[in-house]
Amino acid sequence: MISLITIAVAVLLACSLTALLRRYALAKSLLDIPNARSSHTLPTPRGGGVAIVVTFLLGLVALYRWQGLPLPLFLALAGGGGGVALLGFLDDHGHVAARWRLLGHFLAAAWSLYWLGGLPPILAFGTSWDMGLVGQGGALLYLVWLLNLYNFMDGIDGIAGVEAISVCLGAALLSQLSGATELVPAVLVLAAACSGFLFWNFPPAKIFMGDAGSGFLGITLGVLSLQATWVDGDLLWCWLILLGVFIVDATLTLLRRLLRGEKVYEAHRSHAYQFAARLFNRHLPVTLGVLLINLFWLLPIAASVALDQLSGPLALALAYAPLIALAIKYRAGLAEPIEHVVRTSSE
């Protein structure tokens, strides 16, 4: 197990780096300027997610050297996540065309899958299913979608950090319950890195995560979930349940926008969490709502899978049903006049 000292060092390092990045962003005028599609109203420094990236990568080096982190997992996390973070950093500081970003995402996902050994057999209804080449293609799409949806869902203060921390802590607990203890240190280091950043990003945010941080978190959580599946087939279902808020909102929003023929790579404010933030006229209630859902709905259901009380597919359906209802209630993916700008807690 990882020591409390290591966790504390990671939190302090991420917090300190975020403060330095905020000063750098202000000095270089790297600001997110509000527009009709923004969920904030004041120019705010961006790129703070680099602190998460640097802290976690340094933590990986320490885990590899002193705690026996397997080399293939180290390369999958560092190579895939680092590549996505670098691409996001370049986009944060200029502009990278959508097609090149997507190509980079697929290459990073393919790198990670190679070192993971591909998609492991999926455990469902008491049977282990080897999905073959179809499964490998699905795993590739899963990683690319997860890193992009995390970017899409990073649209109000604190939500991406709260999601990552609660998912990681839940996954660490369930890995411990399942006997997959070798997964716990890396997950806890990621949670610690996000906690240090969240000090500056909690509503009202003093700095935004940026594409470098959000894409990095998405692919890193995806890689960790697939690695967990190699250890225990039930853990994939646990991870999918824990990530349910982000997966449901982003996927339903994407599908509805596709059906309307919209350009899905363009910025918008039609996610359920964005509608909810405008309804409450604040970011904090929505961010805290995500935390409560993760802790008191999704985590207990995921635990029932880890403890062999429910089958994975059944538990996933049970967990997602009210999330879909909530997303529909808060108009996920429905069109909104872009000139309609609502004041938020950032004012």
Mean pLDDT estimate for the chain: 91
**What average pLDDT does the segment 55-80 reach?**
95
Residue 125: count of CB within 10 angstroms of its CB: 9
Confidence of residue 201 (pLDDT cuts 50, 70, 90): very high
pLDDT at 342 over 50: no
Structure-token match 């449901």, residue found: 248
Confidence of residue 323 (pLDDT cuts 50, 70, 90): very high
pLDDT at 40 over 90: no
Confidence of residue 328 (pLDDT cuts 50, 70, 90): very high
Q: What is the pTM of this model?
A: 0.93
What is the structure's pLDDT at 38? Answer: 63
Structure-token match 């998405």, residue found: 218
Q: DSSP readout, 158-209?
A: THHHHHHHHHHHHHHHHHHHHT-GGGHHHHHHHHHHHHHHHHHHSSSPSS--
